[in-house]
Amino acid sequence: MSVPNTYRHLIAGASRDASDGALFDKFEPSNGRVMAQVAAGTLQDVDAAVAAARAQFDGGEWSRMPGAERGRLLLRLADLLERDAERFIELLAREQGRPVMEMRMLDLPVAIDTLRYFAGWADKLEGRQIPTGGFMGRPTLNYTVREAVGVAALIVPWNAPLMIACWKLAPALAAGCTVVLKPSEDAPLAVDALARLTLEAGFPPGVVNLVHGIGPTVGSALVEHAGVDKISFTGSTAVGRQIAQAAGPKFKRLTLELGGKAPQILLEDAVLEQAVGGLVMGLFVNQGQTCAAGSRILVHRRHYEDVVAALAEAARSIKIGDPFDPDTRMGALINARHAERVRGHIDRALNEGARRVAGDETLPVNGYFVRPTIFAGVKPSMGIACEEVFGPVGAVIPFDTDDEAVAIANDTPYGLSASLWTQNVAKAHQIAGRLRVGAVAVNAWAPLDARLPWGGLKDSGIGRDLSACALDAYLEDKVVTVVM
């Protein structure tokens, strides 16, 4: 497929260059070549996009559109995404360097399903009638109305750009918000195509706007902007903290989906043959570049050497390379700087005394590749066991008792997700209740679904994407009291 060379903003339904005409290069991870040039947004571009979103929210066609019609447009958008699935799969594989197989199995189906799920909510935003004892001796009728928060800035990361854009866009539009999307500079192409598809679906121009550009310029201008009421951000904990600091004094509504360091706990009674495939998936999907990456593998000592050997063998057998080869199971990391960072984590683990049992072979291909790597003999205090690597690197840690496993699992600043491998149902529920995370998967890794809330505790963020919880984050509850 030929990818257009230049990507521009989408503001009030029209393509726009950056106000100063500046562009930045987007590199293709699997070969290191420039694949596109993208508008480098400015403060003026952000102003224009927010003005377009405000015009639709404050009295535009969108502000008068019934929920059922908003739902119908979301369903149409889902149909168009399904129609164009192959185009999106190819765009994502090229801009992320990720195997097409993963896009086909995960990103596209979840994105489409998310649009359909929230379409169903758009005409069900019902308030409540609440009885009270009345007011100053007179009876009252009290009811709540659910109103859209306003203009939402949706700031998206590079690791699952289309899927996460849909996690934010779908509830925002179902609730009646208008939006300014800010894709990551490292993966802007599929989100750009999604925004343009909203016009074909029939969303009025200005409901969905998109400004490309560099995070500290465009993202931070959106966070500071007086015309933005709500920020939904997915990205690193460091940037999330900056956003919280900037948005706090302005009391902007915030959803922050941040980093993770998920434990995968294999209890003594787990069935190894069933668990190992899941552990490998949790470690290596998307080259380990997922917030939920199960990169801390806590194994009961009885199984420790067997699991280390099985993971090492699995890591060595993964076919790495061209994302368009249907046999490829691992692609490239997102950019040269990130691949260097991941190699830095590997070097540090070696210096700290961890034992590398897979991952030291040289790579046969160009591009930003890192071999799937497994470390044994890892102590919970080592960097590889505590820090988010965001690459294909697993740390295998032994434990002797369930209490010790829970203590190690919780001993991290993060609290996004965890996996637990066991045949003991009672134990599964008990341990799930003790893990300080937003999501626990028993005998699986991160089973994402639009109906299930997704988000974390502690340094993993505030609020939830997906499910009815995400809808709440784009709505305000207004109470009306009529004294009779």
Please name which of 200, 199, 179, 197 lies closest in space to residue 189, comparing C-alpha atoms: 197
- For residue 215, state whether it binds ligand NAD (rule: CB under 6 A): yes
| Minimal distance, residue 217 CB to ligand NAD, in Å | 8
- For residue 458, state whether it binds ligand NAD (rule: CB under 6 A): no
Phi, psi of 222 (to 5 degrees): -65, -40
Query: For residues 227 and 50, what is the distance between their CA atoms, to the nearest angstrom?
Result: 6
Among 49-57, 136-144, 168-176, 454-462, which window interacts with ligand NAD (CB under 6 A)?
454-462
| Minimal distance, residue 97 CB to ligand NAD, in Å | 14
- For residue 373, state whether it binds ligand NAD (rule: CB under 6 A): no
Nearer to ligand NAD among residue 154 and residue 312 (C-beta): 154
Tell the residue number behind the tokens 């368009």, with chain if given.
Answer: 324
* Candidate list 158, 375, 399, 421; residue touching ligand NAD; CB under 6 A: 158
- For residue 216, state whether it binds ligand NAD (rule: CB under 6 A): yes
Query: For residues 415 and 263, what is the distance between their CA atoms, to the nearest angstrom?
Result: 10
Residues 53 and 63: beta-carbon distance below 8 Å? no
- For residue 414, state whether it binds ligand NAD (rule: CB under 6 A): no
| Minimal distance, residue 29 CB to ligand NAD, in Å | 13
**Window 230-259: contact mask with ligand NAD (x via CB under 6 A):** ----xxx--x--xx-------------xxx
- For residue 453, state whether it binds ligand NAD (rule: CB under 6 A): no
Please name which of 36, 20, 39 lies closest in space to residue 28, comparing C-alpha atoms: 36
| Minimal distance, residue 388 CB to ligand NAD, in Å | 6
Please name which of 360, 362, 359, 393 lies closest in space to residue 378, comparing C-alpha atoms: 393
Residue 291 annotated as catalytic: yes
Residues 292 and 159: beta-carbon distance below 8 Å? no
- The number of CA neighbours under 13 Å toward the Cβ of 216 is 1
Return the amino acid letter for 6. Answer: T
Query: For residues 144 and 7, what is the distance between their CA atoms, to the nearest angstrom?
Result: 43
| Minimal distance, residue 450 CB to ligand NAD, in Å | 14
The DSSP H or E segment spanning 255 is: strand 253-257
Nearer to ligand NAD among residue 422 and residue 460 (C-beta): 460
Q: Which residues contact 287 (CB under 8 A, 6 or more apart)?
A: 98, 330, 331, 332, 333, 370, 391, 392
Chain positions 160 to 189 lying near ligand NAD, rule: CB under 6 A, are: 182, 184-185
Sign of the C-alpha dihedral computed for residues 212, 214, 219 and 221 taken in this order = negative
Nearer to ligand NAD among residue 45 and residue 388 (C-beta): 388
Residue 257 annotated as catalytic: yes
Kindly give the residue spans of alpha helices, DSSP state H, lying in 84-160: 85-96, 100-102, 108-119
- For residue 57, state whether it binds ligand NAD (rule: CB under 6 A): no
| Minimal distance, residue 180 CB to ligand NAD, in Å | 12
| Minimal distance, residue 231 CB to ligand NAD, in Å | 8
Among 44-52, 125-133, 157-165, 353-361, which window interacts with ligand NAD (CB under 6 A)?
157-165
Q: Which residues contact 93 (CB under 8 A, 6 or more apart)?
A: 99, 100, 103, 323, 324, 331
Residues 371 and 352: beta-carbon distance below 8 Å? no
**Window 298-337: contact mask with ligand NAD (x via CB under 6 A):** ----------------------------------------
Task: Point out the catalytic residue in the list 95, 102, 291, 388.
Answer: 291
Query: For residues 159 and 102, what is the distance between their CA atoms, to the nearest angstrom?
Result: 12
Nearer to ligand NAD among residue 291 and residue 441 (C-beta): 291
Site size for ligand NAD (CB under 6 A)? 31
- For residue 398, state whether it binds ligand NAD (rule: CB under 6 A): no
List the catalytic residues. Answer: 257, 291
Residues that bind ligand NAD (CB under 6 A): 155-159, 182, 184-185, 215-216, 219-220, 223, 234-236, 239, 242-243, 257-260, 291, 388, 390, 416, 454, 456, 460-461
